[in-house]
């Protein structure tokens, strides 16, 4: 037995005596690794039972529970690596000061814990790799002043942390291993904050949904500094222009190979570059500095939901990327160039983009690696466009065409031919 989930309907929760008995029995299960409490009325008198659960590695509290931060000291004797708390309004930063005693803690999730404030980060969590503070509205720039101490941090989510601004992003930019950052609905973030983030060599996944103060100048900072982003979410950033979105997506779709000198390439990775190409590379020369080439990571995920400026021109800027992946100069000074079609996009989300038409879908059909396509509320899309995409993108696994009112059974018939399809959303398709 590796995992136990407790979930009770209102009025059916066990008594405190029953809880103590159950938790005491759980402590005798040496193989127990994960415990989840959903809508459970677990009272402080039971917290001491966790001290004997030495094998537990993951603990989750979900569903507006009356659990308080007084439970944290009781977890010090465990080997807990993951602690998830959702909607626990009684959790406070002062009570979380003992988090530093959890020496093995790697993932900390405090979602909707509005009592958590700036004192949380400065608690000695030096081994922390993932920190999610979505909806912790008391977190401010002052609290992020100490975030540079979390040198092992790889993922950070600050969704709806309304008091985080460019000053906080300047501190976040100092984290050497951070590769995923979500600052969606942090309305104080501006282009200055993006200028700080553009200097992060490790950043791969950036989400900034509904950051309404970000403009084209911010996108220029991201594109001109050549970030190696694999995923970007600019949904709901209403101040962006068509030109800036088209330029940024084109820049980020260029793999790093386009920007490296030939002296930085390594022979071992060359065969994979031509896996889908009809061109055969020449005899492989000897190159140095393998680390620089192995870090190449072309853009794979673009989320632009709700951007009315997205049009055929924007998509053409992505699809038109034809990347030079190899260049070799022979002694007689003849240059050989070998190309591979791009982009490598696997996910494209365009819901509520009102300018998406069948012409746009013809361009999307050039993105043969697509696995996820969201066209929800793209009301100009017709059956012809869907058929064109499905015929050219056989790897699609998720397709969203909700409220595309012009679609009919012809689209369903085309989509049904997708062998890897796992999710199809046709809500509101009245035809």
32 has pLDDT over 60: yes
What does DSSP assign to residue 78? Answer: S
Residues of the chain with pLDDT > 70, as a percent, come to 81
Do 333 and 398 belong to one domain? no
Answer with the one of 159, 189, 219 that is the final residue of a domain.
189
Q: What is the DSSP string of 362-379?
A: HHHTT-TT--EEE-TT-T
Q: Which helix (H) or strand (E) holds 358?
A: helix 358-364
Ordered alpha helix ranges (H), 173-287: 191-197, 216-224, 242-253, 270-273
Q: Is residue 199 part of a domain?
A: no
Angle at 173 (CA atoms; ends 171, 178), nearest 5 degrees: 120
Q: Is residue 65 a contact partner of residue 40, using CB atoms and an 8 Å limit?
A: yes
* Residue at 372 is within a domain: yes
Q: For 63, left (φ over 0), alpha (ψ -120 to 50), or beta?
A: left
One domain, residues 41 and 99: yes
- 150 with 21, same domain: the answer is yes
Q: Where residue 306 falls among pLDDT bands split at 50, 70, 90? A: very high
**What mean pLDDT do residues 172-182 have?**
96
Mean pLDDT (whole number) for 75-82: 87
Rounded to an integer, what distance in angstroms lies between the CA atom of residue 26 and that of residue 2? 11
pLDDT tens per residue, range 343-354: 578 999 999 999
Mean pLDDT of 58-82: 82
Of the pLDDT bands very low, low, confident and very high (cuts 50, 70, 90), residue 47 is confident
pLDDT recorded at residue 11? 62
198 falls within a domain: no
Q: Taking residues 58-76, what's their average pLDDT?
A: 80
Same domain, 123 and 254: no
Average pLDDT, the chain: 81
Residue 40 and residue 127 in one domain: yes
155's enclosing H/E stretch is strand 155-157
Q: Residue 285's pLDDT band (boundaries 50, 70, 90)? A: very low
Does 200 map to a domain?
no
Supply angle C-alpha 185, 188, 194, rounded to 5. Answer: 90
DSSP 70: G
Least confident of 100-104, 132-136, 291-295, 320-324: 291-295
Same domain assignment for residues 63 and 87: yes
191-229 tens-digit pLDDT? 999 999 999 999 999 999 999 999 999 998 888 776 788
CATH of the domain at 15: 3.80.10.10
Please check whether residues 67 and 55 belong to one and the same domain. yes
Range of the domain at 253: 206-342
What mean pLDDT is predicted for residues 260-286? 31
Task: Look at 49-53, 243-247, 349-353, 370-374 and tell me which has the smallest mean pLDDT.
Answer: 49-53
CA distance 35 to 63: 14
Least confident of 33-47, 260-274, 335-349, 395-409: 260-274
Structure tokens at 335: 């240059």
Distance separating alpha carbons of residues 233 and 221, to the nearest angstrom: 16
With respect to residue 197, please indicate whether it lies within any of the assigned structural domains.
no
Closest CA to 120 of 137, 101, 141, 95: 95
234 and 105: one domain? no
Angle subtended by helix axes 242-253 and 216-224, to nearest 10 = 20
Q: How far apart are CA 56 and CA 412, in angstroms?
A: 47
Last residue of one domain, picked from the residues 302, 324, 342? 342
Mapped onto helix, strand or coil, the DSSP state of residue 374 is strand
Return the closest-CA partner of residue 158 out of 110, 104, 215: 110
Quick one: average pLDDT of 333-345? 49
Are residues 114 and 180 located together in one domain of the fold?
yes
CA distance 227 to 236: 21
What backbone torsions phi and psi does residue 37 show, to the nearest 5 degrees?
A: -115, 120
Query: Residues 60, 151: one domain?
Result: yes
Query: Residue 12's CB: how many other CB atoms inside 10 A?
Result: 7
Position of tokens 């790799």?
A: 129
Q: Mean pLDDT lowest for which of 49-53, 367-371, 411-415?
A: 49-53
- The pLDDT tens digits of the residues spanning 231-254 come to 999 999 999 999 899 888 888 877
Residue ending a domain, among 315, 342, 369, is 342
**Domain contains 333:** yes
CB 399 within 8 A of CB 373: yes
d(CA 100, CA 319): 48
The pLDDT assigned to 217 comes to 92
3-state percent helix, strand, coil for the chain, nearest multiple of 5 = 30, 15, 55
Q: What is the pTM of this model?
A: 0.84
Q: Give just the sign of the alpha carbon dihedral 245, 246, 248, 252.
A: positive
Do residue 172 and residue 225 come from a single domain?
no
Q: Quick one: pLDDT band at residue 280, thresholds 50, 70, 90?
A: very low
> Exposure of 70 by Cβ count < 10 A (0-12 exposed, 13-18 middle, 19+ buried)?
middle
Asked if residue 395 belongs to a domain, the reply is: yes
- Counting the structural domains of the chain, the total is 3
**54 CB neighbour count, 10 Å cutoff:** 12
CA dihedral 401, 404, 405, 407 (to 10 degrees): -60
Q: Which residue has the higher pLDDT, 365 or 292?
A: 365
Q: Percent of the chain, pLDDT > 90?
A: 46
Distance in angstroms (rounded) separating the CA atoms of residues 344 and 326: 17
CA 177 to chain centre: 15
Same domain (yes/no): 374, 243: no
Within 10 A of 255 (CB to CB), how many other CB atoms are there? Answer: 22
Who's near 392: CB < 8 A, 6+ residues apart?
Answer: 365, 366, 368
Query: Do the beta carbons of residue 73 and residue 98 sit within 8 Å?
Result: yes
Domain contains 141 = yes
pLDDT of 282: 31
């Amino acid at each position: 037995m590796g995992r136990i989930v407790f979930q009770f309907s209102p009025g059916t929760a066990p008594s405190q005596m029953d809880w103590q008995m159950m938790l005491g029995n759980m402590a005798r299960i040496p193989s127990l690794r994960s415990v989840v409490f959903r809508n459970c009325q677990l009272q402080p008198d039971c917290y001491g039972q966790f001290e004997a659960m030495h094998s537990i590695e993951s603990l989750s509290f979900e569903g507006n529970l009356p659990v308080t931060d007084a439970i944290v000291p009781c977890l010090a004797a465990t080997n807990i690596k993951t602690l998830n708390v959702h909607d626990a309004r009684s959790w406070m930063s002062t009570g979380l000061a003992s988090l530093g005693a959890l020496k093995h803690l790697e993932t900390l999730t405090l979602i909707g814990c509005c009592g958590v404030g700036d004192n949380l980060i400065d608690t000695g969590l030096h081994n922390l790799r993932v920190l999610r503070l979505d909806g912790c509205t008391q977190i401010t720039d002052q609290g992020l002043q100490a975030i540079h101490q979390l040198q092992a941090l790889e993922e950070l989510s600050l969704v709806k942390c309304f008091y985080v601004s460019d000053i906080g992003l300047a501190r976040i930019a100092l984290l050497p291993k951070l590769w995923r950052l979500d600052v969606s609905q942090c309305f104080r973030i501006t282009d200055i904050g993006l200028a700080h983030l553009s200097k992060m060599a490790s950043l791969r996944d950036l989400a900034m949904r509904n950051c309404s103060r970000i403009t084209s100048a911010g996108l220029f900072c991201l594109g001109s500094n050549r970030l190696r982003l694999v995923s970007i979410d600019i949904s709901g950033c209403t101040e962006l222009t068509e030109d800036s979105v088209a330029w940024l997506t084109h820049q980020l779709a260029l793999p790093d190979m386009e920007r490296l000198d030939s002296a930085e390439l390594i022979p071992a990775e060359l065969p994979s570059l031509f896996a889908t190409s009809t061109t055969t590379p020449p005899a492989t020369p000897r190159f140095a500095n393998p680390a620089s080439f192995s870090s190449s990571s072309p853009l794979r995920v673009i989320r632009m939901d709700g951007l009315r400026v997205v049009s055929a021109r924007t998509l053409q800027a992505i699809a038109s990327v034809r990347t030079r992946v190899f260049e070799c100069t022979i002694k007689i000074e003849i240059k050989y160039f070998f190309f591979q079609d791009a982009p490598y996009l696997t996910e494209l989300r365009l819901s509520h983009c009102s300018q998406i038409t069948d012409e746009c879908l013809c361009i999307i059909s050039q993105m043969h690696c697509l696995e996820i396509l969201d066209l929800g509320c793209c009301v100009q899309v017709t059956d012809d466009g869907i058929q064109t995409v499905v015929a050219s993108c056989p790897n699609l696994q998720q397709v969203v065409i909700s409220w595309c009112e012009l679609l009919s059974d012809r689209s369903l018939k085309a989509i049904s031919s997708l062998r890897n399809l796992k999710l199809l959303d046709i809500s509101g398709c009245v035809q």
